[in-house]
């Protein structure tokens, strides 16, 4: 049986936390994405994609990967020390592993907001 679960979050860090992530053509961000996928024990359908945005006031990075069971996407604004993410899957996963992996890569957050949505509504149809 499928288990539809969706976690969204916003994390706030010291802005210097993001500097190593951006070096070497965003290699740190790619490793972060790979570790998230491993932590939730999922497989990818697509390559890991990372894009840089240079629009004034919105400078940052966005990354995404399509999973066999859905997707993982994130957005960062290094100057503000902010990371937002979205992980949806029809396979159950431990949301604490996601939070732990974020902290592993970015250090201790100053504040965070995480919402876990149960999107299992098939029994209502």
Q: Tens of pLDDT along 1-17?
A: 788 899 999 999 987 78
Q: The pTM is what?
A: 0.90
The per-residue pLDDT for range 103-121, each reduced to its tens digit, is: 999 988 999 999 999 877 7
Structure tokens at 118: 């149960």
* CATH topology assigned to domain 5-124: 3.60.90
DSSP 91: S
* Interior/surface letters 104-115, b for 16+ CB within 10 angstroms, e for the rest: ebbeebeeeeee
What sign for the dihedral angle of Cα 22, 96, 64, 13?
A: negative
- The reported pLDDT for the residue numbered 125 is 62
């Amino acid at each position: 049986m499928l288990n539809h679960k969706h976690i969204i979050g916003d994390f706030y860090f010291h802005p210097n936390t993001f500097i190593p992530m951006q070096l070497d053509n965003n290699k740190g961000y790619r490793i972060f994405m790979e570790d998230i996928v491993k932590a939730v024990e999922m497989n990818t359908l697509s390559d890991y994609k990372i894009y840089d945005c240079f629009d004034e006031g919105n400078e940052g990075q966005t990354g995404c990967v399509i999973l066999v069971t859905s997707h993982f996407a994130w957005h960062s604004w290094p100057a503000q020390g902010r990371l937002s993410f979205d992980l949806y899957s029809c396979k159950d996963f431990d949301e604490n592993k996601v939070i732990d992996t974020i902290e592993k890569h970015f250090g201790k957050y100053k504040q965070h907001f995480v919402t876990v949505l149960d999107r299992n509504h098939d029994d209502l149809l």
